[in-house]
A and B are shown apart, each in its own frame.
Chain A
Amino acid sequence: MENFFDLVPLIVLIPLIGMLVNLFAGRQIGERGVAIVAVGASSLAFLIAVILWIAQVQTGYEPGVVDMPLLADWISVPSAGLRIPWEFRVDTLSVTMMLVVTGVGSLIHLYAVGYMHGDARFPRFFVYLNLFLVFMLILVTGNNFLMMFVGWEGVGLCSFLLIGFWFDKPGGEGWKNSDAARKAFIVNRVGDFGLILGMLMTFWTFGTLDYYKPGEAPLAAHHEAEAEAPVFAPQFPQEEHAEPEGPLGVFNQAQLWLDEGGHEVDFGLVTLSFETTLTIITLLFLLGATGKSAQIPLFVWLPDAMAGPTPVSALIHAATMVTAGVYMMVRSNVFYEASTTASFVVTLIGASTAIVAGFIAVGQWDIKRVLAYSTVSQLGFMVAAVGVGAYAAAMFHLVTHAFFKALLFLGSGSVIHGMEHGHHHLTDHDVEDHKHVPPHEHAPQVETERFDPQDMRNMGGLRHKMPGTYWTYIFGTLALAGIIPFAGFWSKDEILVDALRLGLDENRLDGYIAFALLLTAAAFTAFYMWRQVSMVFYGQPRTPAAEHAEESGPVMLVPLIVLAGLSLIGGFMNIPSGFPLLGRIFGEHQFTSWLEHSVVNAHAAGFLWLLATVAVLLAAGAIIAARVIYNDRALRQLTDDPLEANERTAGAFALANAKLYWDEFYFSTIVYPYQRAARWLADRLDWAFWHDFVHDRVIGSSFQWATEMLSNPIDRGIIDRAFDGLARLVHNLAARVRTIQTGYVRTYALGVAFGALLILVIALLPVLRDLLGL
């Protein structure tokens, strides 16, 4: 079965091929061809992920490392000891991510075929989607931090391209879209900066960026292994050879140094203890994660990223890309486990993000914005889970969240689609194909009406118009709200249990804080989701567009139904121990024991009846509260939110509606000063100082002075006159010499005669000397 590991390069290459085909032949093969290539590529990738999954199970979860053909020596500088091979890692963690990315990705690809139908840039959209898959899979399959970074930046690029996909929408919409794209890109740069620094420190500390070297099994922490209950104790046969030979990957090396203790790292200026180094590295990694996974303080880009087409929001900004930060932190669990400080910060950031975003979501009108803040909030749950050491729970929530959040986004896309249909049904009977008709045909209408198909105030009563969408949406909502037995209940419960356990068992403050914040956030989640469901699906249609809304086609409904099924049963893969009946059927902690083979610090949380009951009751209470507040009477005319109308909650609602002024805060503290500084630098430093003073005055005039000097006194005064004088000298000399030439033949003859005589005298000199007796 290990031979199947060699298939792993294909999981990257197949989407790459699909992308290249659509890139170069997209226009020729038509919409149908593009769809077949793109969906086929992602489905094949999913097939490979499934094969790898089976291979993992068959080989006893042994991690495999596979070289990329041609790229085995990707970066190699032997003299510096730098060698970063392009290696794929097949272990339970990466296979989990592969399954999620390709599985949910394939469904979303399929859905997008229906959603993007008729778009002028249909092929380009699927080129970007497949490219995204390529990078995302590089990110999760890489065996070193640098490969992860390549994928990390690549998905950022695809995110940028897809958020701004409709950059040419009329009526200023296009500008907003491209602004959102740039915002996402720039905010992510801040996080990437942290990730790069973290990677550099990691390399400096360990001399390698590989997670594990080929053939190296993850070492569990010694104290952990003893403390664990025997049932979940990782069974690594390799652990018998206690001291592996040769250079180690970063995580095992870190584990060894931690076990030994007292290791120090020399940074030139300072020497830090290994533990401090790890704290700094993990905090830098956390900065990277706050960017990519939209945590405080860098979460502001994600709600704006909803400007992209809805399948993009589902795939990139809910299910996969934004979980990269969580994946990265789970991958680095050895580091995070070692640093209490970093874990504390991670917990605080995750938990406060969860509650802040949950609060803001209550005050939003835009159907996708609610989901966006919900995504931020749920990512906060995952990050907090990493912080409290519940790595398995974080991954579990990542997987279930991918199911139900993709479902919700796709459902919202279906709603938007239906609303647009209804809107165009009213305004434009002739145009059957409503989406992205050339701007000049539609611009006047957009100008006059300003109809927003995403504003929930324009909806209402869609339950009867779009039953398929409605029911799947309910599944997603219940899963997200954490109602038993939907997927979200199990994963959220596990995080809560872990947080509480950390507080109770180890008496750690961050455990209590995380527990309190997350439980409140969970209540908020249920509330804003049911508020949304009420506003969208219940009551009566509030606009003509909603009245004429139509159900989406099967190509969009099938993915919804599949995801709804997954949202229902997805949680059964990790039934906590002690849960009756279900634990017998599906086995207990299946997912955790699967992950334990690659995430050494993964551990299973138990099940607390009281907590689960409280959480479910809280969620159910929030749902009922939402339904009571957003009752049919309130929904009839929704100019004001009921919370807004009530004096006691008006202030809080305004705060949530204004997103806690977070963007304004950044604008006034960062963006505005930055722009002012940029303007000042441009006007004063660049133009006035650099251009006018340095270039014009200093350089320009001194250059002129120098050329003046060179040309007048030196060139004309010295060089020119020297040559003039030389010429005159020759001229005068020639005038004198010329007089010898008389022109009379006689003179020349005399010259010849004298010359001959002279030669004769010289020739006869010895004879003459003899004759004269000298």
Chain B
Amino acid sequence: MGTPEVAIELYVLLSAILFVLGAMGVLLRRNAILIFMSIELMLNAANLALAAFARQWGNGDGQLVVFFVMTVAAAEVAVGLALIVTIFRTRQSIDIDTLHMFKD
């Protein structure tokens, strides 16, 4: 136990800050890449909270879920980036506010 104890509240606080930042990014940004990165930020904020609670309670389940989240995030990145590249090729833009063909 050489490392100093950090209170669980701090982890959760950090996680919440990161999550809110991510959410703001998703809602406010127009660039698809940046939105994407913001989503990653939210996922990782959740990961942090999961890992912290897992450690707090000495239960491996949370850490296990973290790995799942990371795998899903990786898959999501692969599909999402491919979509973004294709959108860019067809429309020469990745501004999401211009993407509303389904509505009309």
Please tell me which stretch of A415-423, A595-603, A691-699, A741-749 contacts chain B, meaning at least 4 of its Cβ atoms lie within 8 angstroms of it. Answer: A741-749
Whether A743 contacts B26 by the Cβ 8 Å rule is no
A431: interface (CB < 8 Å): no
Closest approach, in angstroms, between the C-beta of A455 and any C-beta of chain B? 109
B27: interface (CB < 8 Å): yes
Whether B103 contacts A742 by the Cβ 8 Å rule is yes
Instruction: Kindly report which residue of chain B lies nearest to residue A750, judged by CB atoms.
Output: B27
- Interface majority SS (helix, strand, loop, mixed), chain A: helix
Mark each residue of chain B from 78 to 104: 1 if its CB lies under 8 Å from any CB of chain A, else 0: 000000000000000000110111111
CB within 8 Å for A743 and B96 given contacts A753-B23, A753-B27: no
Closest approach, in angstroms, between the C-beta of A177 and any C-beta of chain B? 93
Closest approach, in angstroms, between the C-beta of B65 and any C-beta of chain A? 18
CB within 8 Å for A745 and B96 given contacts A750-B27, A753-B27: yes
Mark each residue of chain A from 657 to 697: 1 if its CB lies under 8 Å from any CB of chain B, else 0: 00000000000000000000000000000000000000000
CA distance A750 to B99 in the complex (A): 16
Collect the chain A residues with CB atoms within 8 Å of residue B100's CB. Answer: 742-744
CA distance A743 to B99 in the complex (A): 8
Interface bracket on B? 10 to 19
Interface residues of A in 747-762 (CB under 8 A from B): 749-750, 753
Whether A744 contacts B23 by the Cβ 8 Å rule is no
Collect the chain B residues with CB atoms within 8 Å of residue A746's CB. Answer: 27, 96-97
CB within 8 Å for A745 and B99 given contacts A750-B27, A753-B23, A753-B27: yes
Whether A743 contacts B104 by the Cβ 8 Å rule is yes
Whether B103 contacts A741 by the Cβ 8 Å rule is yes
Whether B102 contacts A749 by the Cβ 8 Å rule is no
Closest approach, in angstroms, between the C-beta of A136 and any C-beta of chain B? 97
Collect the chain A residues with CB atoms within 8 Å of residue B104's CB. Answer: 743
CA distance A445 to B23 in the complex (A): 122
Instruction: Kindly report which residue of chain B lies nearest to residue A741, judged by CB atoms.
Output: B103
Collect the chain B residues with CB atoms within 8 Å of residue A749's CB. Answer: 26-27
Closest approach, in angstroms, between the C-beta of A220 and any C-beta of chain B? 114
Closest approach, in angstroms, between the C-beta of B28 and any C-beta of chain A? 8
Collect the chain A residues with CB atoms within 8 Å of residue B102's CB. Answer: 743
Interface residues of A in 55-82 (CB under 8 A from B): none
Closest approach, in angstroms, between the C-beta of B95 and any C-beta of chain A? 11
Whether A744 contacts B27 by the Cβ 8 Å rule is no
CA distance A741 to B97 in the complex (A): 14
Interface residues of A in 717-774 (CB under 8 A from B): 741-746, 749-750, 753
Collect the chain B residues with CB atoms within 8 Å of residue A744's CB. Answer: 96-97, 100
B interface residues, Cβ below 8 angstroms from A: 23, 26-27, 96-97, 99-104
Given contacts A743-B100, A745-B96, A745-B99, 17 further A-B contacts (CB under 8 A): A741-B103, A742-B100, A742-B103, A743-B101, A743-B102, A743-B103, A744-B96, A744-B100, A746-B27, A746-B96, A746-B97, A749-B26, A749-B27, A750-B27, A753-B23, A753-B26, A753-B27
